Amino acid sequence: MYRVCFVCTGNICRSPMAEAVFRAHVRDAGLDGLVEVGSAGTGSWHLGEAEDSRTTAVLREAGYPLSHAARQFEAEWFERYDLIVALDAGHAAELRALARTTDQAARVRLLRSYDPEAEPEDLSVPDPYYGGERGFTACLEMVEAAVPGLLSEVGAALEAREGG
């Protein structure tokens, strides 16, 4: 099993959106049962809450199902997850600060680093929480652009495990 956790601030907008999109791509690639997908926040503000209603609306319109309860990322989770995908540079920095080893810190990646069209100096997915619906749509577009590259890397990691 290869485990991926998406992380944003409160785990109600960006990371659950990335979780839903990636899970659908994993299923479509026939990797269900081989890849576990989750999400969490860096903070505890929304623990146990469902995703933001605007996240639900954008995902539903795009055909992505999601059943979600917000969680907070804990340092012990580095032992559980193979890859921790941060939605912005601030999250990546917070996660790397939580890491206890350089190997754990190296598991933290920015989602947009998997998007070949993303500008290397701007790999953060902006937080749509304080904006309107357009921000959520833009967030989904960024997630969808990055997920194929991420899926390719996860697929290669699974192949390497099988061959190794």
Quick one: pLDDT at residue 162? 85
Average pLDDT over residues 101-127: 97
The order of strands in the sheet holding 108-110 is: 35-41, 2-8, 83-86, 108-110
pLDDT interval class at 164 (50, 70, 90): low
Residue by residue, DSSP assigns 67-120 as: -----B--GGGGGT-SEEEESSHHHHHHHHHH-SSHHHHHTEEEGGGG-TTS-T
State how far the alpha carbon of 44 is from the alpha carbons of 18, 33, 70, 74, 142, in Å: 19, 29, 9, 11, 25
| Percentage of residues of the chain with pLDDT beyond 90 | 95
In the chain, how many domains are there?
A: 1
Domain limits for position 80: 2-163
Per-residue model confidence (pLDDT) at position 58? 97
* Active site amino acids: 8, 14, 127
Give the mean model confidence (pLDDT) for residues 93-113. Answer: 98
For 29-65, how does the pLDDT look when each residue is reduced to its tens digit (9 = 90+)?
999 999 999 999 999 999 999 999 999 999 999 999 9
* CATH code, 135: 3.40.50.2300
Confidence category of residue 131, pLDDT binned at 50, 70, 90:
confident
What single letter denotes the amino acid at residue 27? R
Return the pLDDT at 102. Answer: 97
Counting residues of the chain whose pLDDT is more than 70, the rounded percentage is 99
The torsion angle over the Cα atoms of residues 49, 124, 19 and 107, rounded to 10 degrees, is -110
Conformational region of residue 150, where left means phi above 0, alpha means psi within -120 to 50, and beta covers everything else: alpha
Angle, helix 53-62 to helix 133-163, in steps of 10 degrees: 70
Strand partners, 41: 8, 72
Angle at 21 between CA 26 and CA 12, to 5 degrees: 130
Neighbouring-strand partners of residue 36: 3
Task: Say which residue, 136 or 161, is predicted with more confidence.
Answer: 136
The average pLDDT across 65-89 equals: 97
pTM score, whole prediction: 0.97
